[in-house]
Amino acid sequence: MTMPGVRIRAEGITMTYRSGTSGLTVFQNLHVDIRPGERVAVVGESGAGKSTFLYLLGGLDRPTEGSVFYDEENIFSLDEPSLAEFRNRSLGFVWQMNSLLPEFTALENVGMPLRARGLPRAEAEAAAQQRLSEVGLAPRAHHRPGALSGGEQQRVALARALVTNPRALLADEPTGNLDHRTGQTVAELLEQLQRQHQFTTVVVTHNLAFARRFDRILQLREGVFVPYQE
């Protein structure tokens, strides 16, 4: 059963990295409000903090100050085990490096998040097979990553991100390692799956053509979001 997308709010986010007596502040009192089911692209120069922002949204890092809400739940009020469970049940992640485990098949890789949740193998593999069908890779289910093309590997990673029926998908440069044609195919597939399942999407990208496919573009500059300009 598909769950509706989730509202994501970052309120008063400050992120400072300390080194001895000095510190580097990436964000200062950052705010953003993303509507349920909205598709948002985050752009900005290298080093602007785009990936750091995504890590904070995903609860993979904790801010120096501030809160991130999924609907009304502040994820940083959770302890680490509860936060890990929240990520497994509510979020899907796709990275530039797909991080597929080479010794396992595509089917086994996609089913990993469900196996980590404790689901029986047969149930996890049935869900994984369905997701592989959605990304057009059902015939490749029993191939290991080394036998798949770069585009196929990224589609496996997308299937893995969606196997838990997440309410939000967070992606960092999901087309960054792909050639133009293959990247466009993955972008179209992501758009199609979002329309089908209605999850909220936040994608970090340097690819402005890819970013323009989204409902809204957030441009990160000097620690704040500014109106996007061509």
pLDDT score for 176? 86
Which residue ranges in the chain fall short of pLDDT 50?
1
Q: Tell me how far apart the alpha carbons of residues 215 and 68 are, in angstroms, rounded to a whole number.
A: 21
Q: Which helix (H) or strand (E) holds 84?
A: helix 80-90
Q: Tell me how far apart the alpha carbons of residues 56 and 131 are, in angstroms, rounded to a whole number.
A: 27
pLDDT score for 4? 67
pLDDT digits (tens, 9 = 90+) for 113-159: 999 999 999 999 999 999 999 999 999 999 999 999 999 999 999 99
Antiparallel, parallel or unpaired: β 8-19 and 65-70: antiparallel
Exposure string over 30-56, b if 16+ CB within 10 A, otherwise e? bebebeebbbbbbbbeeebbbbbbbbb
pTM beyond cutoff 0.75: yes
pLDDT score for 2? 52
CATH superfamily of 37-62+79-226: P-loop containing nucleotide triphosphate hydrolases (3.40.50.300)
pLDDT score for 47? 85
Phi-psi region of 226 (alpha: psi -120 to 50; beta: other; left: phi over 0): beta
